[in-house]
Amino acid sequence: MEKTIQELLAGIRFPVYLAPMEGVTDRAFRLVCKGKGADVLISEFISSDALSREVDKSMKKMRFDERERPFGIQIFGHDEQSLVTAARMAEEAAPDFIDINWGCPVKKVVNKGAGSAILKDISKMERLTSAVVKAVHLPVTVKTRLGWDSSDKPIVEVAERMQDVGVQAIAIHGRTRAQMYGGEADWNLIGEAKANPRLHIPVIGNGDIDSAEKALRCKEQYGVDAVMIGRAAIGNPWIFEQVKGLLNGIEVPLPSYETRVEAVLQQLRLAEAEKGERRAVLEMRTQYAGYFRGLYNFKPVRLRLMGALTIEECEDILRSYSIN
């Protein structure tokens, strides 16, 4: 019998998830974050329609390293048949759980009735989720938002209904679809969902966790069972170490320049093995600002990195910088 989510996380005092982010949380970045303390990793989101058609790019997104466990594969879609097919295909890849994305606010996803579009039809959300739960043996979790807009935030009811169809944990991003990624995340409603006496599955809080102090504050103030960190981890995988340290009363210092360089090179080489050198170098350009934020006069170095085409060039440029 497959392990439940609670069994998978047994022994972890306060799980810290790396949020799935399209175009960011590839296997290379996930492994770097895992090495820095991330407890649970999830794939980039994968279209159920694309999986059903066995599109190569989507099939590749299901690949993961054994070091990433506990690991989940996240799927999204709007059609019951394709979601069920995708869930079964994901199960064959042998992750630890399957996650359904009912929260993506991006227009091209929403226009197809997937992601956060489902929040306009909770009965359909319930029906499709139930079909996935029944189709697989692995635990199923859900990631969603508070609701569609400021006039419609049914998350307390949604969480309960997801539990009732067999979902084993729910991650709640504290924004509506209308907010996209703007404004502030509303953790009060996340706390309300967690405080619902009829809700017994773990609640994972997500939204604006940008420091270890905030992660612990959300744990203590809203009672969530875990937190999920997304944008704040881009170029800053040490945030996971900092959260874990603070849980134990230890303040983990900011990484040295040399430590940052080694993490960048590690990510580049992991990505090279999976995607080839050129693509690895090009995709890394979006993360330099995060990795080297706050360093004096680093902008000229970053501009040089943006023109580099090989990992050797990147390393030479990074080694040439003097922090003094």
Q: Which active-site residues does the annotation give? A: 104
291 and 324 in contact (C-beta within 8 Å)? no
**Beta bridge partners of residue 229, listed in sequence order:** 18
**How many C-alpha atoms does 281 have within 13 Å on its Cβ side?**
16
How many angstroms separate the first and last alpha carbons of the chain? 57
- Alpha carbon distance 286, 288 (integer Å): 6
Query: In whole angstroms, what is the distance from residue 175 CA to residue 182 CA?
Result: 8
Question: What is d(CA 32, CA 196) in angstroms, rounded to the nearest whole number?
Answer: 36
Calpha distance 98→308 (Å, rounded): 38
Report in angstroms the alpha-carbon separations of 258 from 28, 261, 264, 286.
Answer: 19, 5, 10, 20
For the chain, how are helix, strand and coil distributed in percent, rounded to 5?
Answer: 50, 15, 40
- Residue 31: closest CA among 210, 271, 245: 271
12, 71 contact by CB (below 8 A): no
The rounded distance, in Å, linking the Cα atoms of 264 and 271 is 11
Give the whole-angstrom CA distance, residue 268 versus residue 277. Answer: 8
C-alpha 26, offset from chain centre: 10
How far apart CA 98 and CA 43 sit, in angstroms, is 10
